[in-house]
């Protein structure tokens, strides 16, 4: 499908015309306007000692004349945003596989490290994930989650965007990475800058900051990940909301891990692969060890840690490192029956829980027999586990005792007005 037609479908004709008008001011005919935007963005990030992840189309990178590469030294990661800015849900599996491999080769030739992928328009078909995996990417960040934070201020244009992206409600699904067959899937949170500026209407920067501050508060409460979407081209319009979020995040306790998407994907994969070894000495003392992982913490609830722990929050205490001794009246792990759904153990291990297969309910503080377990059940199970008070020992979900995570990310669709024109033709 023609990208211009897609834009009209996503935004409506009036918005598309208005957007084409503002684009002229934003991009200009040389890459210098994007360079200025990236420079400003990098300065804000440096002030808060954090980085960001910017997916860019390979075609725009190819024409970029050195604008992009230098930002890698400033804690900015680039990812692939398609070879061209087109709707991948309309492409055959072979075409997608060929495009993604050429995109990776092009990034490599330009000296741009690339770990991740985000689909243009957040759209894809059944073959897309497999093609991303085969091309050797570590993560994909194209699935979207819609947060209920517009407080009745929604608009038809916003509802249209959510439907177009296929966004799922964040009230029903956890905002967490998911490792599936080697690929880490990282959800993208909505509303992003495009929705805040072009689809929702706010009086000023403070009102415009509210939805993002609410997502930050909610992800912090749940211990989840906020991927804040801000296209570099809109940094001048969204600088205050971005600063408000980073300022707030830096002040929260327990802390917020502010990291790039590649760092988050690597952490998630490494932590999920830990294989804890558990020992028991009569009458009630356990030890747990695993191979070292920088930043790893062990959390305990309703158990007596032998090494003095530090208070964490919500009734948990924490111990840094990869080994711990503790006393507990029951095995403080999650016992699950072998007939439970195959994905259940993997899901729990990815959350940091220690899982053991068993038929013996009485030994375990938490025992699950779930022959059926789907994506829709994840949120409820996490709430039950977090809300309980039974003895548990687990790995911290995020590094260094952080309670939640935040990642700043935004697509670079075009560097110049010329790119934008080619993009409209799918080039
Ligand atoms: Zn895009």
3-class SS string, 58-106: HHHHHCCCCCCHHHHHHCEEEEECCCCCCCHHHCCHHHHHHHHHHHHHH
CA of 306 to the centre of ligand 1 (A): 52
pLDDT of residue 248: 98
Counted domains in the chain: 2
CA of 175 to the centre of ligand 1 (A): 21
CA of 396 to the centre of ligand 1 (A): 34
Residues 6+ away with beta carbon under 8 Å from 246: 44, 48, 50, 258, 406, 408
DSSP state of 309: P
CA of 227 to the centre of ligand 1 (A): 16
pLDDT of residue 420: 59
Same domain, 411 and 393: no
Q: Strand 404-409 relative to strand 225-229: parallel, antiparallel, unpaired?
A: parallel
CA of 204 to the centre of ligand 1 (A): 26
CA of 336 to the centre of ligand 1 (A): 42
Three-class SS state of 297? strand
Same domain, 387 and 362: yes
What percentage of residues in the chain have a pLDDT greater than 70?
Answer: 90
d(CA 251, CA 61): 36
**pLDDT at residue 410 above 70?**
yes
Please report whether residue 260 resides in a domain. no
pLDDT digits 0-9 by tens, 116-157: 999 999 999 889 999 999 999 999 999 999 999 987 778 899
Among 31-35, 215-219, 287-291, 335-339, the least confident range: 31-35
User: What CATH number is given to the structural domain containing 24?
Assistant: 3.20.20.370
CA of 423 to the centre of ligand 1 (A): 10
Please report whether residue 268 resides in a domain. no
Per-residue confidence band for 201, with pLDDT thresholds at 50, 70 and 90: confident
d(CA 199, CA 146): 14
Cα–Cα separations (whole angstroms), residue 30 to 67, 110, 417: 10, 19, 8
Mean pLDDT of all residues belonging to the chain:
90
pLDDT of residue 233: 93
CA of 9 to the centre of ligand 1 (A): 15
Tokens of 280: 């028991």
- Which of 259, 267, 331 lies closest to 297 in space, CA to CA? 267
343 membership: H or E segment, kind and range: helix 342-350
Same domain, 219 and 310: no
Q: Which residue has the higher pLDDT, 18 or 86?
A: 86
**pLDDT at residue 401 above 60?**
yes
CA of 153 to the centre of ligand 1 (A): 25
Same domain, 56 and 11: yes
Q: Which residue has the higher pLDDT, 308 or 210?
A: 210
Q: Could you give phi then psi for residue 179, rounded to 5 degrees?
A: -90, 120
pLDDT of residue 151: 79
- Domain residues for the domain of 417 are 3-255+405-424
CA of 145 to the centre of ligand 1 (A): 17
Same domain, 130 and 182: yes
Question: Helix 126-134 to helix 93-109 angle, to the nearest 10 degrees?
Answer: 40
**pLDDT at residue 29 above 60?**
no
Please report whether residue 261 resides in a domain. no
CA of 180 to the centre of ligand 1 (A): 24
pLDDT of residue 319: 86
Same domain, 23 and 168: yes
CA of 81 to the centre of ligand 1 (A): 7
pLDDT of residue 2: 52
pLDDT digits 0-9 by tens, 231-253: 999 999 999 999 999 999 999 99
**pLDDT at residue 4 above 60?**
no
Q: Which residue has the higher pLDDT, 214 or 28?
A: 214
CA of 197 to the centre of ligand 1 (A): 16
pLDDT of residue 106: 95
**pLDDT at residue 104 above 80?**
yes
Same domain, 199 and 321: no
CA of 162 to the centre of ligand 1 (A): 15
CA of 256 to the centre of ligand 1 (A): 27
Find the mean pLDDT for residues 413-421: 66
CA of 86 to the centre of ligand 1 (A): 9
d(CA 158, CA 352): 35
CA of 330 to the centre of ligand 1 (A): 51
Same domain, 300 and 239: no
CA of 85 to the centre of ligand 1 (A): 6
CA of 231 to the centre of ligand 1 (A): 9
| Residue matched to tokens 């897309």 | 128
CA of 56 to the centre of ligand 1 (A): 8
């Amino acid at each position: 499908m023609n990208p211009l037609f897609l834009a009209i479908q996503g935004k409506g004709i009036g918005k598309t015309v208005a957007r084409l008008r503002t684009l002229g001011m934003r991009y200009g005919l040389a890459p210098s306007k994007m360079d200025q935007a990236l420079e400003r963005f990098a300065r804000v990030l440096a002030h808060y000692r954090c980085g960001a992840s910017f997916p860019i189309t390979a075609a725009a990178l190819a024409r970029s004349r050195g604008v992009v590469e230098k930002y890698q030294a400033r804690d900015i990661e680039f990812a692939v945003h398609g070879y061209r800015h087109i709707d991948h849900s309309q492409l055959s599996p072979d075409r997608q596989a060929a495009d993604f491999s050429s995109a990776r080769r092009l990034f490599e030739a330009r000296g741009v490290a690339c770990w991740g992928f985000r689909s243009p328009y957040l759209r894809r078909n059944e073959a897309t994930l497999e093609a991303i995996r085969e091309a050797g990417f570590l993560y994909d960040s194209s699935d979207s989650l819609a947060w209920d934070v517009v407080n009745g201020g929604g608009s038809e244009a916003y509802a249209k965007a959510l439907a177009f992206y296929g966004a799922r409600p964040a009230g029903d699904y956890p905002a967490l990475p998911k490792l599936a067959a080697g690929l880490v899937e990282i959800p993208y949170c909505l509303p992003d800058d495009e929705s805040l500026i072009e689809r929702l209407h706010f009086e000023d920067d403070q009102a415009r900051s509210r939805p993002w501050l609410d997502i930050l508060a909610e992800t912090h409460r749940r211990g989840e990940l906020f991927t804040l979407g801000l296209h570099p081209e809109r940094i001048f319009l969204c600088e205050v909301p971005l600063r408000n979020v980073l300022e707030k995040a830096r002040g929260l306790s327990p802390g917020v891990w502010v990291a790039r998407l590649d760092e988050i994907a690597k952490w998630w994969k490494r932590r999920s692969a830990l294989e804890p070894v558990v020992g028991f000495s009569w009458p009630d003392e356990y030890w747990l060890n695993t191979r070292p992982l920088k930043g790893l913490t062990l959390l305990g609830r309703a158990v007596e840690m032998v090494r003095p722990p530090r208070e964490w929050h919500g009734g948990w205490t924490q111990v840094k490192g990869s080994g711990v001794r503790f006393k507990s009246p029951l095995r403080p792990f999650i016992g699950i029956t072998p007939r439970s759904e195959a994905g259940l153990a993997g899901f729990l291990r990815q959350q940091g829980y220690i899982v053991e297969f068993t038929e013996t309910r009485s030994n375990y503080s938490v025992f699950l027999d779930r022959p059926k377990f789907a994506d829709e059940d994840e949120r409820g199970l996490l709430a039950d586990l977090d809300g309980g008070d039974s003895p548990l020992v687990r790995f911290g979900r995020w590094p260094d005792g952080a309670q939640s995570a935040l990642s700043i990310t935004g697509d670079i669709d075009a560097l110049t007005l010329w790119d934008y024109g080619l993009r409209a033709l799918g080039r």
